[in-house]
Chain A
Amino acid sequence: SQKIEQNSEALNIQEGKTATLTCNYTNYSPAYLQWYRQDPGRGPVFLLLIRENEKEKRKERLKVTFDTTLKQSLFHITASQPADSATYLCALDPSANFGNEKLTFGTGTRLTIIP
């Protein structure tokens, strides 16, 4: 069966350092991979999307990589700040075509940036 794992339930990083979160999957061939941020008691917010034929995507201090051979995505936050503290979810999208819009979400990694 399809399985998605995010490397750890919780991660503590010193302010200013780079935070790296991992998303691994098995028995799955996603066309896209998405990353979301969720604050406590709130709904997730979309951050970045990367396609299967892209190796890397950047947005400001965020960087996502996608290795379909390793079946892994890495999510990096550089120059981390306390405001980056949140739970980060990865989501796999199996299809590039409209009509199959079911995402499969990982369990999330709770990131805490320590001042």
Chain B
Amino acid sequence: DGGITQSPKYLFRKEGQNVTLSCEQNLNHDAMYWYRQDPGQGLRLIYYSQIVNDFQKGDIAEGYSVSREKKESFPLTVTSAQKNPTAFYLCASSTWTGGRYEQYFGPGTRLTVT
């Protein structure tokens, strides 16, 4: 059963703690992405990676970090430096196929920091 998995679905943390969100894909896609979704603001790109051991900052990278040591895995760490970490986090992957691509999304992780 191919797809993207994110775990856990719900995550609660105390302010000041770092937390790592998991994202795994078995679609053999080269590119992976992390988005944040807040009410009324749509999807905002945090980080993306087009190849193993390489990644680029998106539009709102401050307070986040990522790694891409394996093609199938792209974990996101929300650090204590992120001012408003409570949000719905979405991981996605994509591949170039026949002159087009679309992004495949995971089910998301809802992070609440108090």
Chain A contacts to B: CB under 8 angstroms: 9, 32, 34, 41-46, 49, 89, 91, 96, 98-99, 101-103, 105-108
Contact = CB atoms under 8 A, between A and B. Distances in A.
Task: From B31, B43, B108, name the one whose CB has the most chain A CB atoms within 10 angstroms.
Answer: B43
Contacts of B104: 46
Given A43-B106, A43-B107, A102 B45 contact: yes
Given A41-B108, A42-B107, A106 B100 contact: no
A89 B42 CA distance: 8
A102 B31 CA distance: 10
What 10 A-B pairs are tightest by C-beta distance, nearest first?
A: A43-B105, A107-B42, A46-B102, A105-B43, A98-B96, A105-B42, A44-B105, A101-B31, A43-B108, A43-B90
30 contacts: A9-B40, A34-B102, A41-B108, A42-B107, A42-B108, A43-B4, A43-B90, A43-B105, A43-B107, A43-B108, A44-B43, A44-B90, A44-B103, A45-B105, A46-B102, A46-B104, A49-B100, A49-B102, A89-B42, A89-B43, A96-B99, A98-B101, A99-B50, A101-B50, A101-B94, A101-B96, A102-B45, A103-B45, A107-B40, A108-B42
Question: Majority SS of interface residues in chain A?
Answer: loop
B6 to A, nearest CB: 8
Nearest to A104: B45
Interface residue tally on B, bucketed by range: 20 to 34
Contact of A43 (B42, B48, B92): B92
B63 interface: no
